[in-house]
Structures are given as structure tokens and as C-alpha cells.
Amino acid sequence: MPYYMYVSLQDDDKILVFGMDAGTGKLTPEAEVPAAGGPSASAISPDRKALYVGHRNSKEISSFRIDPGTGGLTQIGRVSLPDSPTFLSTDRNGRFLLSAYYQGAHVAVHSIGDDGSVSDPPIEWLETAAAAHAIQTDPSNKFAFVPHIARLNDSVMQPPGDALGPNAIFQFRFDENTGRLTPNSPLKVEPEEFLGPRHYCFHPNLNVVYFSDEQGCSVTGYHLDTSTGTLSAFQTITTLPEGYSGRNTCSQIQISPSGKFLYAPNRGHNSIAGFSVDASSGRLTAIGRVSTEAVPSAFSLDPEGNFLFAAGSETGRLASYRINGVTGELTPLETYSGGKRPMGVLITNLGG
């Protein structure tokens, strides 16, 4: 059963393709694919036949066909955009590509053609606010959320009045037939604390959503009302060890396929924070942190939740870890050379 990893090297203008051994987690370099324009955020279609890559420097989105036998990539489309895409995801049916624009203060929806390529122009080009950092549809494919961090010019935490973003999560209804987004009521969920919600993931079994808090250096759990598509916070837990006072921000967030463990990287402390997840309530309990490559802006679990890979955007290296299936603890394995500024890491299983 073939597993492949795709790593976007923003400052090398290429995408690395690795094969992954599902038993050991070992990576084998397979290909280097040219991708001019600063490849960064990426997404894989639900049928695992297409890879989408956002280009931060050239303000574009590229579509690639994935070879099911080799994991190789063939470019099949490229669309120009008014701003630089920060985050990409497909809807649950793979009919639409959703994107967020941090500096552009927008979100967009493009239709996906029969060949898997992104169509132009977008169905939606919707203004939200500065520092829009992610967008995904929920498991029902009826709702979408857009977290906005409170980014500051120097990334140092200061009072909210000095922030460039609204420190809020925007809530939308999503029409899976047309791709249209409609503001929900209320439009915003605004944390009482200065958290800066950045990325998020859905619990596989519970109506719970977890957000990484960039400035808050924490994870916040929200209950999802599946009838209204609205969020309500129930827990915020730090990603840092007690007593740490150095500079730090959080980046991405992922939950294991089993729903038992959740992980969020610290950029500054340069670690991966792990949490166990209560099976009935969704509440998180810290299980510790493991050191990783400097400035881990991108990471990924494999599809089975047995391994974790973190990319150091400062060092250009990939660190691999085995996930303990009972405790969720991470055991360091190998470190691999990547390239300049890895900003996207995705792993997929192309078998069956």
C-alpha cells in the first residue's frame, strides 16, 4: 500500500516527493517537481487524485495530477489570484477548493473541473478581515469557519488594540451544490482572551473543533452545534511548559484518525506539544512536548496516525517521530534534508 509525502519548499520553488514506509516511517526521496512562485500551502483531493498548491510569491494556485503508481505529479492547471493564498482545502465532496488570504483579507471558493484542476474565475471572492488564516468545511459539508489571528508587525504579543487582525473566528454556511458561502448568525466568535486563532481540525467522532491559537500559544476546543453551524468554546490549554517565557507562536494543528491524540507545534520553543483527548467530552490533557526542528511551521501525521513529521522552516530539515498508540507520546526517529523554507507537508495513501 503506497504512501507518499509532499513537501512545499517556498524558497526553492519546488515540491519534494517522498515515499513513506508504512511500517517504519522511513522516507525515500522520489522526485523534485518544479513549482515556481513560492509553493506553500497545499491540499489533496478526497479521491487522492489531485494535489493543490498555493504560491505565495506569484499569487497563484496550481493543480497537479497524482500518479497512483508512483506518487509523481503532473501539472494540469494554474490560476492567477489578486492576493497570496495562505491556506487551501477542498470541500468534503471534492467539488470545490476553498482558500484563505491572510494579507488579502478574503476567502475564496473555486470549482474543480472533471480533470481535477481548479477553475477560474472563483465562485466566491468574499471579504472577511485582515489575517484570515484558514478555511474548511465541517464533516456535514454545510458549514465553514475562518479563523483570524491578531498578527502584529513584529509578531510579539501586545494588547489587542495594536493588532492587525480581529482575533475572531468567522462562521459561514456553505452550499455544497453551488459552492456559495453565506454569513452565519452570529458571524463571529470572539475569544475573551487575546488568542489569535490560526488553524483548526475536527474530532473524527465528536461534534468538537480544535483551534491552534497563534498568539495564545494554546489550543482551544469548541463545541459545534450541528444544527446551526455555530461554535462555543469549552477549554483552552497551553502548548508550552510551565515557566517558559520566551518568544513563541503556534502554527498548525492535527488530530489522530482515532481521535485519541492531538498535536500542535510551537515556533520559538521549537517543540511539538501533544495532548490526549477524552473520548466522551473531547477535553484535552497535556502529554508532554518533544523537541523538533527550528520554527516548525508545517507538520503532518500519516493517514494511520502512526508517525508524525515536522518541517523546520528555519533549518530546512524534516524530523520524524513514531506515535505511541497507547500514550500518544512521540519517539524521535530520523531527520531528513529538505530544502529552503518548507511550508507545506502532506501525506497520503494511494492504495485501495
Sequence spans of domains, the chain: 3-349
CB of 222 within 8 A of CB of 213? no
What pLDDT does 352 receive? Answer: 61
Confidence band of 157 (pLDDT split at 50, 70, 90) = very low
From the centroid of its chain, how far is CA 234?
A: 22
Confidence band of 351 (pLDDT split at 50, 70, 90) = confident
What pLDDT does 187 receive? Answer: 98
What pLDDT does 159 receive? Answer: 42
How are strands ordered across the β-sheet holding 96-101? 87-90, 96-101, 106-111, 124-127
Q: Is the pLDDT of residue 115 over 90?
A: yes
Is 161 in a helix, a strand, or coil? helix
Q: Is the pLDDT of residue 253 over 70?
A: yes
Nearest to 164 by CA among 181, 177, 149: 149
CB of 249 within 8 A of CB of 256? no
Question: Rounded to whole angstroms, what are the CA distances from 67 to 30, 43, 94, 115, 349?
Answer: 12, 16, 18, 13, 12
Q: Is the pLDDT of residue 288 over 70?
A: yes
Q: If you average pLDDT over residues 336-351, what whole number do you get?
A: 95
Tell me the pTM: 0.95
Confidence band of 165 (pLDDT split at 50, 70, 90) = confident
Q: If you average pLDDT over residues 214-231, what whole number do you get?
A: 97
Confidence band of 256 (pLDDT split at 50, 70, 90) = very high
Confidence band of 158 (pLDDT split at 50, 70, 90) = very low
Q: Is the pLDDT of residue 161 over 50?
A: no
Of 164-168, 185-189, 224-228, 239-243, least confident by mean pLDDT is: 164-168
CATH class of 3-349: mainly beta
Q: If you average pLDDT over residues 144-172, what whole number do you get?
A: 72
What pLDDT does 231 receive? Answer: 98
Q: Is the pLDDT of residue 314 over 70?
A: yes
What pLDDT does 184 receive? Answer: 98
Q: Is the pLDDT of residue 152 over 60?
A: no
Q: Is the pLDDT of residue 153 over 70?
A: no
- One-letter amino acid at 231 equals L
- One-letter amino acid at 72 equals G
Percentage with pLDDT > 70 across the chain: 96
What pLDDT does 127 receive? Answer: 97
Q: If you average pLDDT over residues 206-218, what whole number do you get?
A: 97
Q: What are 26-79's pLDDT values in tens digits? A: 999 999 999 999 999 999 999 999 999 999 999 999 999 999 999 999 999 999
Enumerate residues 6+ apart whose C-beta is below 8 A from 243. none
What pLDDT does 150 receive? Answer: 82
CB of 255 within 8 A of CB of 199? no
Which cell is 143 given? 458549514
